[in-house]
Structure 1
Amino acid sequence: MLIQFAAAAGAANAAAAHGGENPYGLWAALEQGGAIAWAVFLILVAMSIFSFYIMFTKLFDQQKIINQSKRVRASFWGNPSLKEGAAKLEKNSAYKQIVDDGLTAQEQHGKLTDPVEAHDWLHGSLSRSQASINSKLNGGLAFLATVGATAPFIGLFGTVVGIYRALVKIGASGQASIDVVAGPVGEALIMTALGLVVAVPAVLAYNWLQRRNKSIAEDLSAFANDVLGYMASNGAVKPTIAARGAAKVAPPAAAPKPGVGTTTAGAPKA
């Protein structure tokens, strides 16, 4: 969005160049602002680029785990054992990681010299596995929150510098005519707009990705609880698998046909 804004401003400057150089465009404002204006502009551009990169990469990672969840619900619990079910999952699947960590913890429990409840040991191992996956999903979101909180103030810094330059020009010329202050004031407004253009998408992306992460964490927690129940019961406890299609209804019993020794009502003859 920020790049499109800059490109549109550059196109406007190029169009105005046919009738003379435009002293109030984006590039002209940056040139007038000097090193400070350029530094603010480049910082905001870098923030915007990294924000969109994080947003799309995290969205891809989340969607991959959501698709894995659908496949797990459809076929995983139909396998005769956890090992066979885990072997059929994707190599880098988050759900495979949970199952593998649970199986490893189960093997390690028999090697403990200090007696520990198997339930507590398995629960702790599965919780660590979930925490590791959630930590990876939340990576980078702090940067989005930082951009959303600081980008408006970085733009405001450029705004303050622009207003200061306008006041200096007024003091130097001795008059507050529009041609004197239009350039610095325009630069100040542009910096404010750029700060908001960078901050708003970052805040929206942060809230949206956090909400999706919370939903994924709930699914992982439910799956880990099912794995724990399966292991603690030696496979006797499994989550209920929804039957595909509507359940078949048994046909009603046929009424007895009238025959020898019975009346049409089914009662014996006198």
Structure 2
Amino acid sequence: MILAHLSHATSHLANLAFFQDQQAVGFSLPDMWHQMGDLAKGVVFVLFIMSIWSLAVMIDRWLYFSAARKQSREFAPKVAGALREGKLDEAVKVADRNKKSHLAEVVTAGLQEFRNYGGGGSAVTPEQIESSKRALERAEAIVHAKLKRGLGALATIGSTAPFVGLFGTVAGILKAFNEIATMKTPGIGAVAGGISEALVTTAFGLLVAVPAVWTFNYFTNKVESFDVEMDNSSSELVDYFIKQSRR
């Protein structure tokens, strides 16, 4: 009886040692990278390029929007004061000094069209106002396109990065099953490489996608607020032209 118990305990310890040995798999990033298959490495490389691209767009849009907001705050009161005093040329000069402002780009187009059409004369015609209005609309469309530059890339990255990571997940799972079939050995050690490969690509895909989606929504809201500001400025400038025509 005692020998039977000792034999059973020895067998149990041997199985436990075997299981622990199977679990002793390295999960450091360098080791994991070397253990990855070519397909998974390709997926990680593509996700890395997507992350760099999205980061570049985020930085570019942040700098562009910050400069536009700062210069617009300085531009609006100055150009309003110049127009109240009837100094059309001064208003154009103020707009030219704030070229990064989205409001300045739109207002400049309207003022220049108004002046070039004959705004310096004594009579302001309806055709002159209509021409200036069209110039404002064209400028708004151009500035809107500038504001949205790069946002399409963020939307694409945010929507496709999880699927690129999922492609690596499938590759990792297939590798795990292939290792089971090849080694014919049950246990975590036989599938650890493939499972870790699958999880890493999945996590990397989400890590790339989530910031891209967040920043896309944030910048889209910024563009919408800038569009409202440009519409208001254009409307106020047209009202100014109409008042000038009635004098």
Shared topology, TM-score over 0.5? yes
What is residue 20 of structure 2 aligned with on the other side? Answer: none
Q: How many residues align structurally?
A: 213
Corresponding letter in the other structure for 1:78: G
Tell me, yes or no, if the aligned pair for 2:176 and 2:190 is still in contact at 8 Å.
yes
Structure 2 partner of 1:5: none
Establish whether residue 98 from structure 1 lines up as the match of residue 106 from structure 2.
Answer: yes
Measured in 2, the distance between the counterparts of 1:45 and 1:64 equals 29
Contact 1:148 1:198 in 2 (8 A): yes
> Which position in structure 1 is the counterpart of 2:227?
217
Q: Indicate the residue corresponding to 1:23 in structure 2.
A: 26
Instruction: Choose from 94, 115, 133 the match for 1:88.
Output: 94
User: Offset of 1:22 from its aligned partner?
Assistant: 6.2
Structure 1 match to 2:211? 201
Aligned-partner residue type, residue 228 of structure 1: V
- Change in Cα spacing, 1:74 to 1:91, as seen in structure 2 (3 Å) is closer
Partner of 2:210: helix, strand, or coil?
A: helix
Higher mean Cα deviation, 115-124 or 79-88? 115-124
Q: Do the aligned partners of residues 87 and 116 (structure 1) sit closer, same or farther apart at CA in structure 2, a change above 3 Å counting?
A: closer
Q: Which has the higher contact order (CA 8 A, sep 6+)?
A: 2
Partner amino acid for 2:108? D
Extract unaligned runs of 5+ from structure 2: 1-23, 119-124
Distance in 1 separating the partners of 2:206 and 2:240: 51
Task: Please state which structure has a larger fraction of its residues in helix.
Answer: 2
Higher alpha-carbon Rg = 1
CA RMSD of the aligned region, Å?
2.3
Which of these residues, 53, 57, 72, is aligned with residue 69 of structure 1? 72
| TM-score between the two structures when normalised by the length of structure 2 | 0.78
2:186 is equivalent to residue 176 of structure 1: yes
Q: Residue 154 of structure 1 contacts residue 195 of structure 1 at CA under 8 Å; is this kept in 2?
A: yes
1:170 and 1:181 in contact (8 A); partners too: yes
Task: Give the TM-score normalised by the residue count of structure 1.
Answer: 0.72
